Amino acid sequence: MNEHESEVRERWGDTDAYRQSQVKTAKYSKADFELAKVDQEAATELFVYAFGNSLPINSPKAQEAVLAHRNAITKWFYDCSIEMQKQLAIMYVEDPRFKEYYDGRVRGLAQYVHDAIAAQS
């Protein structure tokens, strides 16, 4: 088990989401993981578009990105509720690794993603 897997198990190992993700991903091939990454990247690109065009966080395009993000997680890993997604969004601005992923695309994107996810009802 690598460091990342240990951290994930420590943080979320006793959750239904973790168990569901373990069951789903146990059946995945390398190609499946690549397809999951494509879906996740597509959602990120929607955020990049909305942010890059200075669209409000509650604009239809920004909220389309929010939905694509949540749908990708649900499709490939676990049932991601709005509340779960909002918790993930906090991690995107507080955990330097996630912040770097988004801000590495466009400076300020992590905060925008967080705010757009937090804006949904």
User: Tell me, what amino acid is at 9?
Assistant: R
Instruction: Give the CB-side neighbour count of residue 60, counting CA atoms within 13 A.
Output: 0
4-13, 34-43, 73-82, 98-107 — which is least confidently predicted? 4-13
pTM, whole model, 2 decimals? 0.87
pLDDT at 4 over 90: no
Domains of the chain: 29-119 (1.10.490.50)
3-state secondary structure the chain: CCHHHHHHHHHHCCCHHHHHHHHHHHCCCHHHHHHHHHHHHHHHHHHHHHHHCCCCCCCHHHHHHHHHHHHHHHHHCCCCCHHHHHHHHHHHHHCHHHHHHHHCCCCCHHHHHHHHHHHCC
pLDDT in tens, 8-62: 566 655 677 778 878 888 999 999 999 999 999 999 999 999 999 999 999 999 9
- Mean pLDDT computed over 102-106: 96
